[in-house]
Amino acid sequence: MKPARIEKNIQMPASWSAIPFGEHYRQALDIQLAPWWQKIFGFHLLKLGHLSTEIQTKQCMIPHQFSLGEDSNIFDVAAAPEALPFADKTIDACVMSHMLAYSNNPHWILREVDRVLIDDGWLIISGFNPFSLAGMAKLVPILRKQQPYCSRFFPSLRVFDWLGLLNYEVLYHQNCQVIPWMSPDKRINKCGGVGVISVIVARKRTYPLTPTPLKFKQPKVKITTALGATKEISKQTKLTK
């Protein structure tokens, strides 16, 4: 398995339109996440990176929704995602659309997001599925340096492991297939493990997800002692009669 941290910096595209079929990918994410927005409450919703800013979140009940990135002309807050300028446990929900795919240190970003999320806060992650047609195209040398194949395709199970270490509960996961040449009503389909876009909805938990059973020591009672006590009680009973 390749290490999560690498030295190379991968430039995230400024918009979904900069990725081939990117608008279709964004539409697929909007459809997958639409049922969840009305379940997410709080005060602050953070969108990390260029691609997260274009995700439709108007249905979300959180009033303060803002974006963060390093370009002050584009984002509401100009800062590096690896060093979020927020106090601990101040953000209710965070959208990381393909943020891990374009990060050279995904572990660090997840830790930073975990630091600022409140207890029971929501984390939404999307990425490209390596076990899809896009993952196969990534193996072609001529495509490997182009978008989106230059980004990192992490298997969902690996992301689950990272979230599990931080004590997150995965509430929803789906891979969806995008077929651009089909009609709009048939273009986006749930496709099991081979869909190109992976969507994860997780929640930060404050209690262990795999509790350790407690072992209680039972006091050892000697049989001879117990029999002696029984005989003594019988003698006292006969004397009182």
pLDDT digits (tens, 9 = 90+) for 90-108: 999 999 999 999 999 999 9
Give the pLDDT band of residue 125 (cuts 50, 70, 90): very high
Q: Does 214 score more than 80 pLDDT? A: no
Give the predicted TM-score (pTM) of the model. 0.81
Beta strands in the chain (DSSP E): 44-48, 64-69, 77-78, 91-97, 117-128, 168-178, 188-190, 197-204
Domain membership of residue 169 (yes or no) is yes
Q: What is the pLDDT of residue 139?
A: 87
Q: Who wins on pLDDT, 165 or 137? A: 165
**pLDDT over 70 percentage in the chain:** 79
Q: How many domains is the chain built from? A: 1
Give the pLDDT band of residue 161 (cuts 50, 70, 90): very high
Domain boundaries, position 156: 16-204
| 159 neighbors 98 (Cβ within 8 angstroms) | no
Strand 64-69 and strand 77-78: the pairing is parallel
Token couple for 222? 């000697």
For residue 194, give the amino acid letter: V
Domain membership of residue 113 (yes or no) is yes
Q: Three-class SS of residue 236?
A: helix
Domain membership of residue 43 (yes or no) is yes
CATH code: domain of residue 85: 3.40.50.150
Domain membership of residue 197 (yes or no) is yes
User: What is the edge-to-edge ordering of all strands in the sheet holding 168-178?
Assistant: 77-78, 64-69, 44-48, 91-97, 117-128, 197-204, 168-178, 188-190
List, for residues 44-63, the tens digit of each pLDDT value: 999 999 999 999 999 999 99
Domain membership of residue 238 (yes or no) is no
